[in-house]
Amino acid sequence: MINFCTLFDSNYLTRGLALYESLKNVCSAFDLYVVAFNEDCYQFLKKAGLPHIIPISLHDFEDEELLKIKPSRSVAEYCWTCTPSVISYCIKSFGLSSCTYVDADMIFYDDPQIILNEASNKSVIITEHRYSKEYDQSLTHGKYCVQFMYFKNDNKGISVLNWWRERCIEWCFARLEEGKFGDQKYLDNWPEQFAGIHVMKHEGGGIAPWNVQQYTCLGKGDNIYLKNKITGEESPLIFFHFHGLKFFLNNVVSYAGTMYELDNDVKELVFKPYVHGLSAIKRRVFAYDNSLNVDGAREITPAKFKIFFGFLKELMVQFRTGKISFIQLLYLKINKHYHFCKLPIDGEAN
């Protein structure tokens, strides 16, 4: 049995449900504890009665320390602040022997037990960003990513978790300040600072828009494999983090903004099935309750202008360096950066 926990509100409901469905496909036994960050989300999960999902209301979760600092944090900052508290709450309230935090915008393609087996008798598992060179933000956003974090309910694991929770309550903001950024930079020194820390080694875990450029995605039957472009070694894809995915009106979705280049194999094998899966989940949710806003859709026109001007600015900067011709750069950037996808209209086949 693997105990997972996460947090999301109704805007991320379809992603949370996609995460849940992926776990059903690859885990022989699991529970997913969800702290619902608004009442609509909690009521939906409570009434849906999905096997292996344990919904937790924000009212039950929040304690005095969190409520005291809540007004001083943005919505995103408060979510980051709460991450270690979510893990701690689940371990204490449900008497769990261990708990693994996962971001709601992730999908599992293979059994996460593969990663947990790496740790042997270690008490904590953290994952590196493993940034592609051109996107390395380690100095500002941290070496490790708060996306898949395992804590064992023992002295070492709880000691680290309590320390992290205290730090996040003290300071957790979306800015770089004195070596801190959000909840993430606190992890930078954990392998040296604490005993019992394991850094995930499997190349198929922690794949995201900031590091997928290092691999070619290969479809083999029902599985996806990653081929390292340097070593040529292949690894099964364990989980992918769909950071930066944004929905707009008129059934349009942007895969990863303008910052990250995505090869066509990544779009076809990873992103397109995911966004079409979210669309299918959205239709099922709406059939249950059409009053929910489940993807945070926004106007398409301002987003297109923002992305286009960002793309144009980058194009001109790179062209001036003389590294590539204007026509070559235009083709490259349009095909790899300006990636909008039209979703099927409700009721259409994917």
Same domain assignment for residues 28 and 87 = yes
In degrees, rounded to 5, the angle at the alpha carbon of residue 341 between the alpha carbons of residues 340 and 346 is 140
What is the rounded distance in angstroms from the CA atom of residue 341 to the CA atom of residue 350?
12
Whether 75 is covered by a domain: the verdict is: yes
Same domain assignment for residues 187 and 258 = no
Supply the pLDDT for residue 303: 47
Same domain assignment for residues 137 and 66 = yes
What is the rounded distance in angstroms from the CA atom of residue 36 to the CA atom of residue 56?
6
Supply the pLDDT for residue 335: 46
Same domain assignment for residues 59 and 187 = yes
Q: Last residue of some domain: 199, 228, 261?
A: 199
For the segment 90-115, what is each residue's pLDDT rounded down to a tens digit? 999 999 999 999 999 999 999 999 99
Residue 165 has pLDDT above 90, yes or no: yes
Q: Which residue has the tokens 């953290």?
A: 126
Residue 341 has pLDDT above 70, yes or no: no
Whether 207 is covered by a domain: the verdict is: no
Whether 220 is covered by a domain: the verdict is: no
For the segment 135-154, what is each residue's pLDDT rounded down to a tens digit? 999 999 999 999 999 999 99
What is the rounded distance in angstroms from the CA atom of residue 65 to the CA atom of residue 151?
22
For residues 9 and 44, is the Cβ–Cβ distance under 8 A?
no
We report the CATH number of the domain holding residue 92 as 3.90.550.10
Q: Provide the 3-class DSSP secondary structure of residue 239.
A: strand
pLDDT band of residue 255 (cuts 50, 70, 90) is confident
Lowest mean pLDDT among 89-103, 161-175, 330-344: 330-344
Same domain assignment for residues 189 and 319 = no
> What mean pLDDT value characterizes the chain?
87
Supply the pLDDT for residue 254: 79
Supply the pLDDT for residue 250: 67
For the segment 196-210, what is each residue's pLDDT rounded down to a tens digit? 999 999 999 999 999
Same domain assignment for residues 192 and 278 = no
Whether this model's pTM surpasses 0.85 = yes
Same domain assignment for residues 266 and 195 = no
Residue 212 has pLDDT above 80, yes or no: yes
Q: Which residue has the higher pLDDT, 122 or 249?
A: 122
- Token pair of 194 as six digits: 């604490």
In degrees, rounded to 5, the angle at the alpha carbon of residue 86 between the alpha carbons of residues 237 and 84 is 80
Supply the pLDDT for residue 115: 96
- How many structural domains compose the chain? 2
Same domain assignment for residues 263 and 193 = no
Give the mean model confidence (pLDDT) for residues 154-168: 98
Show the domain range for 181: 2-199
Supply the pLDDT for residue 319: 52
User: From residue 248, how far is each of 9, 253, 302, 338, 342 by CA, in Å?
Assistant: 18, 6, 10, 15, 10
In degrees, rounded to 5, the angle at the alpha carbon of residue 25 between the alpha carbons of residues 20 and 30 is 60
Give the mean model confidence (pLDDT) for residues 69-81: 97
Whether 184 is covered by a domain: the verdict is: yes
Whether 52 is covered by a domain: the verdict is: yes
Supply the pLDDT for residue 290: 74
Q: Which residue has the higher pLDDT, 321 or 205?
A: 205
| Pairing state between β 30-36 and 2-8 | parallel
Closest CA to 3 of 107, 112, 80, 77: 112
Q: Last residue of some domain: 199, 216, 234?
A: 199
Same domain assignment for residues 133 and 17 = yes
Q: Last residue of some domain: 134, 165, 199?
A: 199
For residues 336 and 134, is the Cβ–Cβ distance under 8 A?
no
Q: Starting at the edge strand that comes first in sequence, how are the strands of the sheet with 30-36 ordered?
A: 53-57, 30-36, 2-8, 98-102, 144-152, 124-128, 197-199
Same domain assignment for residues 129 and 40 = yes
Supply the pLDDT for residue 340: 54
Same domain assignment for residues 171 and 58 = yes
DSSP states of 255-302 as a string?
SSTTTS---HHHIIIIIHHHHHHHHHHHHHHHHH-TT---S--B-HHH
Supply the pLDDT for residue 141: 92
